[in-house]
């Protein structure tokens, strides 16, 4: 069975903002079979960044959208119960599981996932990725 790796919005912005190839880095640190996914909410967030931001933020979001398409990332539309829609971070926290790794730069989200006992991929020293258990 393949491990599911879900890439958070801020993680997808790394190639455009810090020039780090997150895909080859994921290959380097993952010695197991995996599938890369992105939340529908993250794609929506990238669209908002592209329409509202200027300069490097807009370009980083544009590159992230191109990479999602080029790398054939699967989009997850997590079922949302009736009521107020949840943000991408809350959905990521709820989707953390034994067979799922969350790739994020959000410190609070990362700590919450690790407290639950699940794995996280994060950027270290602005140049390489690390899998934290």
pLDDT in tens, 96-120: 667 889 999 999 989 998 998 899 9
104/38 Cα distance (integer angstroms): 11
Could you tell me the two tokens for 24? 């080859």
Could you tell me the two tokens for 86? 């949840």
- Per-residue confidence at 94, pLDDT binned at 50, 70, 90? confident
- 89 or 43, which is more confident: 43
Instruction: Quote the Cα angle for 48-26-68, to 5°.
Output: 30
Q: Lowest mean pLDDT: which of 23-37, 64-78, 86-100, 106-120?
A: 86-100
- Per-residue confidence at 26, pLDDT binned at 50, 70, 90? very high
Handedness of CA 8, 108, 94, 81 (dihedral sign): negative
Residue 79 pLDDT greater than 60, yes or no = no
Q: What is the pTM of this model?
A: 0.87
Residue 85 pLDDT greater than 70, yes or no = no
* pLDDT recorded at residue 82: 38
- Per-residue confidence at 57, pLDDT binned at 50, 70, 90? very high
CATH class of residue range 3-132: alpha beta
133/130 Cα distance (integer angstroms): 10
């Amino acid at each position: 069975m393949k491990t599911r790796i879900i890439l958070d919005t801020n993680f997808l912005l790394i190639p455009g903002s810090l020039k780090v190839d997150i895909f080859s880095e994921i290959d380097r640190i993952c010695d197991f079979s995996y599938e890369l996914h992105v939340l529908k909410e993250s794609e929506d967030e990238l669209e908002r960044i592209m329409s509202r931001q200027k300069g490097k933020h807009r370009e980083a979001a544009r590159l992230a959208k191109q990479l999602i398409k080029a790398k054939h990332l699967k989009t997850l539309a997590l079922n949302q119960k009736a009521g107020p829609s949840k943000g991408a971070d809350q959905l990521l926290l709820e989707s953390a599981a034994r067979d799922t790794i969350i790739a994020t730069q959000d410190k609070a989200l990362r700590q919450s996932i690790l407290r639950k006992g699940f794995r996280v991929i994060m950027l270290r020293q602005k140049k390489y990725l690390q899998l934290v258990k």
